[in-house]
Amino acid sequence: MIKFQKIFLTCFSMQIEEAKTKQEIISLIYQMRYYLLLPINREKQISEEVPQKWLKPVVEKLLDKAEELKIIQKISNNEEIRCNIWKYIFTIRAIKLEDLSIKLTKDKEKYSLQIFDENIFEEKVTLTNIQDKIDLKLNKKIKIFE
């Protein structure tokens, strides 16, 4: 299983490099999402098993290309925060990612990310280890796709 994931991510990275149009990148975003949601067994999805040292560079490359082509909003200048936020976006059960918005809130010293499907609240997750790394506006809803 691990060898298969490494091969898949290598090929996927090559597809990202070759993609030239917005439609190709949107398709790759959905493919990454579906890949991460694949079940391994009843308790785990592939996103919980794939080594981060392989997954993170591929996701970063995909997000960089999507931002470069102005498909998605630049959520954060910090790679760790950006990948963390997209990790949650990729696993949300909304049908169309293009309808999603996010909102960062702070309660005392805890940061939370709220994810909305159009205007309907979907999920709230607590972000950890991000103090002094936030460059997002607090309490402002941001549409992730341009």
Which of 71, 106, 129 corresponds to the end of one domain? 71
Identify whether 76 is part of a domain: no
Quote the CA–CA distance of 127 and 36 in Å, as a whole number: 19
- Comparing 40-44, 64-68, 87-91, 134-138, the range with the smallest average pLDDT is 134-138
- Comparing 39-43, 58-62, 65-69, the range with the smallest average pLDDT is 39-43
- pTM value is 0.85
Judgement on whether residues 99 and 67 belong to the same structural domain of the protein: no
Res. 119: pLDDT tops 80: no
**pLDDT tens digits, 8-48:** 999 999 999 999 999 999 999 999 999 988 888 888 877 77
pLDDT category at 132 given cuts 50, 70, 90 is: low
Burial tier of 23 (Cβ tally within 10 Å: 0-12, 13-18, 19+)? exposed
Identify whether 84 is part of a domain: no
Judgement on whether residues 8 and 65 belong to the same structural domain of the protein: yes
Judgement on whether residues 101 and 60 belong to the same structural domain of the protein: no
Identify whether 85 is part of a domain: no
**pLDDT tens digits, 71-112:** 998 888 888 888 888 888 888 878 888 999 998 888 887 888
Judgement on whether residues 98 and 135 belong to the same structural domain of the protein: yes
Q: List the one residue out of 64, 136, 141, 140 whose CA is nearest residue 100.
A: 141
Which of 71, 102, 130 corresponds to the end of one domain? 71
Domain count, the chain: 2
The residue range of the domain holding 124 is: 94-146
- Asked whether the beta carbons of 28 and 16 are under 8 A apart, the reply is yes
User: Torsion angle, CA of 10/15/16/20, rounded to 10 degrees?
Assistant: 160
Judgement on whether residues 115 and 59 belong to the same structural domain of the protein: no
